Amino acid sequence: MKPEVSFEDFQKLDLRIGRIEQVEAPTDLDKLYKLTVDFGPEIGKRTILAGIRKHYSETDLLGREVVAVVNLAPKKVKEHVSEGMILAADGELGPVLIIPRKEVPVGSLVR
């Protein structure tokens, strides 16, 4: 079990609903997709690298709403920069995206 996190620390995470607008499969990132995700007018569009390429097709992802952390420090992977993290559960056969059951406006806070 991981160490406890205070409620104040948890509140520092900015979790938002975003819609995947573009999916790229860069040749130098064999396990990662480069996603352009729209988080609405307050946050805007972000580039997010996600290690889900073996488990989701580009068609599966395009237009899908996802839950993401939008206030992580940018992370550089080779020549690419990720500006957030899409949330997924560890499923038996690989990652399972955390998605809303109903459509939610992009940029909505997740609490």
**30 within some domain:** yes
CA angle (53 as vertex; 68, 49 as ends), nearest 5: 40
Count of domains in the chain? Answer: 1
pTM: 0.94
- For 90, the domain range is 7-97
**18 within some domain:** yes
CATH number at 42 reads 2.40.50.140
**2 within some domain:** no
Q: What is the pLDDT of residue 47?
A: 98
**106 within some domain:** no
Q: Average pLDDT over the chain, rounded to whole?
A: 96
Query: Where do the H-state alpha helices sit in 12-100?
Result: 40-43, 58-61
Digit-coded pLDDT (tens) for 61-94: 999 999 999 999 999 999 999 999 999 999 898 9
Digit-coded pLDDT (tens) for 1-54: 889 999 999 999 999 999 999 999 999 999 999 999 999 999 999 999 999 999
- Token output for 42: 């307050």
